[in-house]
A and B are shown apart, each in its own frame.
Chain A
Amino acid sequence: MSRESTLVGRTRARPGAFGFLTDTTLCIGCKACEVACKQWNQLPMDDFGFTGMSYDNTGDLGATTWRHVAFIERVADREGRRPTRLQPFQSNWLMLSDVCKHCVNAGCMEACPTGAIIRTEFDTVVIQQDICNGCGYCVPACPFGVPALSPLDGKAHKCTLCYDRLKDGLEPACSKACPTDAIQFGPVHALMDRAKARVAELRAQGVEAQIYGDEALGGTGGIGGLNAFFILTAPPEVYNLPAAPELPQRRVLPAFLTTALAALALGLATLVTFWRSKEVRHD
């Protein structure tokens, strides 16, 4: 068995962690999750526009969009082959309801200099709005492009996994609203078992399904898995997801070491230069 395959289906999520399983093979692209999220979290309307691509006029996750349904029309694959057959159960449309991944080791949280981003008792990642000062460092520190600064209040926003609803024993608004149960909420380890069974079932039917959000795919490079994970039927890049992202903070210590080395070299060079400096007669 290769190293890869031992990582499939493995996550470092803590035992009590809650998360989402978003099964794209069940998604019908109704956007009920987007609407439910906006309603529950009282998020203002986005600046409407016509993207001119597929049926997706939402475009991406943002400060006021915490669920985003991506629509991909399979016109041709990477080799330029056009599909001539339908995959079982599927049209040649792929739909994925994207969301904050609530990473096991979250880049946004480690970056935040104010400690505004916390890990809750449900092992989800939440930005405390009374702490965030809008420095914007979490925005490029997220490997998945999730948080964004809002021009309305200057602070960073993203999915809270409905922290307020979880506190009251309710499931998040999006999974509650999803008519096909493409979005399932529950304990991460139970969801992961369910995902593995579902992927095995899909593969038996000839669908090239895979889990995105275990340590082999999506939760790589020190991220340790994603508490909100997905079942995909195409390469992650097609859904705008990085296949093997890295926790950015893994680079902090090595980068400080090379910087310290450079400082040492430059400091010594300066000392030696000043030490050996001679009287100059003419300028």
Chain B
Amino acid sequence: MTEIRRWQHRRAPGEPVSAETRDSYYGLPVIHGPHWRWSIVFYFVLGGLAGGSAVLAAAARLVGGHWARPIVRVGRYLAFLAVLPGPLLLIIDLGRPERFHHMLRVVKLRSPMSLGVWGLIGFTATAFLNALQQAAEDGWLGQRNPAAHFLRRLPARILAAASTLPAFFLAGYTGVLLGATAVPLWARNALRLGPLFLCSALSSAAAMLALLVGRGPGNARARHALERVEQVALLGELVLLEAVQRGSGPVVGRPLSNGLEGWAYAGTRLSAGVALGLHIVTKMLPRRLRPPLRLVASLVALGGAFLLRAAMIFGGRRSAEDPAATFAITRRPEDPARQAR
């Protein structure tokens, strides 16, 4: 019940008071950090997975031939199933969960959280339609059922195309949401977080679909295509992870380079690198060694997507507690102490 006050997590207890008051108010945080914890981490991961799956399913439906049908099938189901827990995870995070519907009072274009609520609804609707049509095509709704008949006759390409915009939105808006705060780590990386989360969404979705489409020789081409997409996304992710660390600088980037969050961030980079490396190396190995290595690569990529969200959310909370980080991004340009950032 007790509230953690800012002075209760002052940094550097051994510092003399004169040092504390020289560049900050006794080392107290300047801003209030967010309360977001694990449910938000899981929501970010699942949202990415859902959005990425929908994108892959749509692309497979639009340009893939018969070989791509497994991607369409599994991708459409996964997109819907992965987004289902999303609203629940968000609602349990609220201070007043029974008031969740107050989010539906307004649409605010400058509030990424408001846009996100509407984007989540739009995505869930398109993902539901796509999954329903897939279920009808797969015969889950019965052959003679008129509803199933109607669903099968809906234009699948248009459904696929309609799901791409909300899918990309769902996978990327979370980065914008973090960037539009006063939290130094997020504010500094506002332009990079959206693209980073998108890359991670696509790589994790491709990895998951590659795991799910099945090992059979009939699916080899689909699996192969998915692995290629995964590699492209992993490459983008690696570049952006480096850019985020460099762009943050030594002070703002502190949570990325030490502590638990630092380990998580290092783990993210490692897993992206390892997954990419494994995919490349596998091609040169004897054939019977390939399936298990690919499996490992996909699992590692999925783990990386999780670590990334955890590192970013908990790293942001830590960066909000660091007055030096806030002052590093809010000092006036002519302030000599600004050089120290």
Contacts and interface: CB of A to CB of B under 8 A. Distances in A.
Given A53-B7, A263-B168, A266-B233, A133 B195 contact: no
B191 interface: yes
Contacts of B194: 255-256, 258-259, 262
B151 interface: no
A219 interface: no
A201 to B, nearest CB: 24
Interface residues of A, number: 95
B31 interface: yes
Contacts of A154: 94-96
Contact of B202 (A47, A246, A270, A274): A270
Interface in A6-60: 46-47, 49, 51, 53-54, 56, 59-60
B105 A255 contact: no
Interface string B297-333: 0000000000000000000100010010011011111
A277 B64 contact: yes
Q: Give the dominant DSSP class at A's interface.
A: loop
B62 interface: yes
Nearest to B95: A134
A143 interface: yes
A206 interface: no
B96 A133 contact: yes
A279 interface: yes
B199 interface: yes
Interface in B98-114: 99-100, 102-103, 105-106, 108, 110-114
B96 A155 contact: yes
B332 A244 contact: yes
Contacts of B221: 277-280
Given A140-B34, A258-B192, A274 B180 contact: no
Interface string B189-232: 01111110011001000000000000001001101110011001
Given A134-B94, A270-B55, A270-B56, A283 B291 contact: yes
Contacts of A114: 99, 102-103, 105-106
B17 A73 contact: yes
B262 interface: no
Interface string B19-41: 01111111011111111100000
Contact of B330 (A76, A134, A244, A256): A244
Contacts of A241: 30
Contacts of A70: 25
B260 interface: no
A54 B26 CA distance: 9
26 contacts: A75-B21, A113-B114, A133-B95, A137-B34, A137-B111, A139-B32, A144-B31, A153-B95, A217-B332, A235-B335, A237-B23, A237-B25, A240-B28, A243-B327, A244-B333, A248-B182, A255-B190, A259-B173, A262-B194, A266-B202, A267-B168, A270-B56, A278-B221, A280-B221, A282-B287, A283-B291
